[in-house]
């Protein structure tokens, strides 16, 4: 199709008297075509489904961390309670020294060591 014919077709295609579908078909026959690259659909689905799997991996990681944390936290809390009970039984109080495992005589020993008396 000559450029002048294409131009006429373009003008005519906008006229409400003409069938737009027919004009569009004629333009396609004249070589008017729009296409994306050959890998277009693969690129789209790669983006979508690799993004989905990344989200799933992230959710799985957070879920695993939560599970591990709850197990560790419960075990840790149980260990702390047992330790406090044993300290109370051994030392008879919850003072800082008893929790740290220090006796009053140790304070005096430290003073002796530092002052040399």
List of residues contacting other proteins (CB under 8 A) = 1, 3, 6-7, 10-11, 13-16, 19-25, 27, 30-37, 40-45, 47-49, 52
Could you tell me what percentage of the chain is helix, strand and coil, using 3-state DSSP and rounding each to the nearest 5? 75, 0, 25
**Residue 64: CB minimum distance to other proteins, A:** 22
The residue among 38 and 113 lying less far from other proteins, judged by its C-beta, is: 38
Q: Using CA atoms, how far apart are residues 26 and 49, in angstroms rounded to an integer?
A: 38
* Alpha-carbon distance values, 79 to 53, 83, 84, 102 (Å): 39, 6, 9, 21
**Residue 17: CB minimum distance to other proteins, A:** 11
**Residue 4: CB minimum distance to other proteins, A:** 10
The residue among 52 and 64 lying less far from other proteins, judged by its C-beta, is: 52
**Residue 65: CB minimum distance to other proteins, A:** 25
Q: Using CA atoms, how far apart are residues 101 and 90, in angstroms rounded to an integer?
A: 10
Determine which helix (DSSP H) or strand (DSSP E) holds 112, and give its type and residue range: helix 104-115
The residue among 23 and 87 lying less far from other proteins, judged by its C-beta, is: 23
């Amino acid at each position: 199709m000559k450029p002048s014919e294409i131009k006429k077709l373009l003008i005519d295609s906008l006229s409400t008297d003409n069938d737009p579908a027919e004009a569009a078909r004629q333009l396609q026959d004249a070589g008017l075509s729009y296409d994306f690259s050959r890998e277009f659909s693969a690129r789209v689905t790669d983006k979508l489904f690799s993004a989905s799997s990344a989200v799933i991996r992230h959710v799985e990681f957070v879920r695993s961390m939560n599970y591990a944390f709850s197990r560790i936290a419960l075990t840790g809390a149980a260990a702390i309670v047992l330790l406090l009970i044993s300290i109370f039984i051994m030392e008879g109080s919850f003072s800082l020294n008893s929790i740290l495992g220090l006796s009053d005589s140790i304070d005096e020993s430290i003073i002796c060591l530092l002052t040399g008396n």
